[in-house]
């Protein structure tokens, strides 16, 4: 299948809009993100970063959180657009999947559409950056990864969640609190155990039932109290052990892993949180491994952001991952 034919398999509900931002003039030494982004999949090449947005508040609504994350993808694009690039880089914006309407399965249908887009982009050789949206985005990203050639051919999947929460709720309806339990159930149907690790878990934000669920599923986790700058060596060992356990990485970043002063614009701001320095170092470590296939950034709620702090923090992490790749 040629590039043009493959491009037809990428379907987004809302076509991508042109990126705009600061322009300091021509030349490779004046590059910013908005110069690097293409909108036509046929113009993209394997190895390019690919963005796809997931406009969804439905999972947050079901999880009784602060709604507004559906506007997260646009806020992340705006924050990223004027960031300077240290080297030439190309990217594709494949548009947005929109979860809207009153249907009972509207979220589930949106996750399936996201999964099809993610699978097509990964199989074309792109590093896929999914811009959320509530953390229900993670199951949509996973549903795409499980369809890819790499996993069909026996690659070992590893899921690393940077998050204050396990998101292993056993609820009747899928929500922003259930995506990793949904992954575990899906992996079980395939005869596999989910290789799930969490960095930044907050004890006061997770009930004993959730800790028991994590233990039952064999989840490896590092509490936020053990992720400070003084414990950086421990954090790096944790990530190294994770990377050694898998061939294909799904990195999920819930911005509420950061302290509330850094990320106020989320559904559940963190009273403690993991320092930005540490989270950025972890992102670079994962990107440099060469194993990263998909990264989703979740829970940005522009309605509650202050001075675009959360959007800028999320954009900086995206920038770090894209420029630190092996």
- Given the structure tokens 């149907």, which residue do they identify? 189
Q: What is the per-residue pLDDT for 8?
A: 53
Is residue 287's pLDDT more than 80? yes
The tens digit of pLDDT for each residue in 64-80 reads: 888 999 999 999 999 99
Instruction: Tell me the per-residue pLDDT of 121-130, one tens digit each, with 9 for 90 and over.
Output: 999 999 999 9
What tens digit of pLDDT does each residue of 248-267 get?
A: 999 999 999 999 999 999 98
Of 9-18, 172-181, 229-238, 279-288, the poorest mean pLDDT is in 9-18
Structure tokens at 164: 């204050």
Report d(CA 166, CA 37) in Å as an integer.
Answer: 34
pLDDT band of 275, cuts 50, 70, 90: very high
Indicate whether 194 pLDDT > 60. Answer: yes
Among the residue ranges 63-67, 224-228, 283-287, the one predicted with the least confidence is 63-67
1-11 confidence digits (pLDDT tens): 444 445 556 77
Question: Mean pLDDT over residues 189-216, rounded?
Answer: 97
Dihedral angle sign, alpha carbons of residues 68, 74, 75, 77 = positive
pLDDT at 1: 44
* pLDDT given for residue 326 in this prediction: 61
Angle at 149 between CA 42 and CA 288, to 5 degrees: 80
Confidence category of residue 142, pLDDT binned at 50, 70, 90: very high
Mean pLDDT of 134-163: 96
Query: Whole-number mean pLDDT of the chain?
Result: 94
Question: Residues 6 or more apart from 288 whose CB is under 8 A from it?
Answer: 324, 325, 326
Q: What is the mean pLDDT of residues 205-225?
A: 98
**CATH number for 173:** 3.40.800.10
**Residue 103 clears pLDDT 90, i.e. is over it:** no
Backbone angles phi, psi at 254, to 5 degrees: -95, 120
CA 58/CA 67 separation, integer angstroms: 8
Among 30-34, 61-65, 69-73, which stretch is predicted with the lowest mean pLDDT? 61-65
SS3 259: strand
Domain count, the chain: 1
Instruction: Tell me which residue of 278, 272, 271 sits closest to 313, measured CA to CA.
Output: 278
Report whether pLDDT(292) > 60. Answer: yes
pTM of the entire predicted model: 0.96
Query: Percent of the chain beyond pLDDT 90?
Result: 88
Residue 208: domain span: 3-15+23-324
pLDDT surpasses 90 at 138:
yes
What local confidence, expressed as pLDDT, does residue 114 receive? 96
């Amino acid at each position: 299948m040629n590039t043009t034919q493959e491009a037809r398999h990428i379907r987004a509900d809302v076509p991508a809009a042109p990126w705009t931002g600061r322009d300091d003039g021509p030349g490779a030494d004046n590059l910013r993100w908005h110069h690097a982004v293409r909108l036509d999949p046929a113009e993209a090449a394997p190895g390019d970063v690919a963005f796809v947005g997931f406009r969804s508040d439905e999972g947050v609504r079901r999880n009784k959180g602060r709604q507004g994350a559906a506007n997260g993808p646009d806020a992340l694009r705006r924050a990223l657009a004027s960031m300077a690039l240290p080297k030439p880089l190309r990217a594709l914006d494949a548009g947005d999947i929109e979860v809207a309407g009153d249907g009972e399965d509207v979220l589930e249908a949106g996750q399936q559409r996201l999964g099809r887009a993610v699978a097509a982009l990964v199989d074309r050789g792109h590093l896929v950056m999914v811009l959320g949206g509530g953390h229900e985005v993670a199951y949509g990203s996973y549903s795409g990864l499980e369809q890819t050639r790499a996993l069909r051919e026996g690659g070992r999947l590893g899921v690393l969640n940077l998050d204050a929460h396990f998101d292993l709720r056993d609820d009747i309806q899928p929500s922003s609190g259930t995506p990793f339990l949904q992954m575990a159930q899906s992996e079980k149907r395939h005869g596999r155990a989910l290789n799930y690790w969490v960095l930044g878990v907050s004890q006061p934000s997770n009930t004993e039932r959730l800790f028991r669920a994590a233990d039952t599923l064999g989840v490896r986790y590092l509490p936020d109290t053990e992720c400070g700058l003084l414990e950086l060596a421990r954090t790096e060992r944790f990530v190294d052990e994770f990377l050694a356990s898998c061939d294909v990485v799904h990195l999920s970043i819930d911005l509420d892993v950061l302290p509330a002063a850094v990320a106020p614009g989320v559904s559940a701001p963190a009273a403690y949180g993991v320092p930005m320095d540490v989270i950025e170092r972890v992102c670079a470590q994962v990107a440099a491994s060469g194993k990263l296939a998909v990264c989703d950034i979740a829970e940005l709620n522009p309605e509650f952001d202050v001075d675009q702090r959360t959007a800028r923090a999320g954009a900086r992490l995206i920038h770090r991952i894209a420029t630190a790749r092996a």
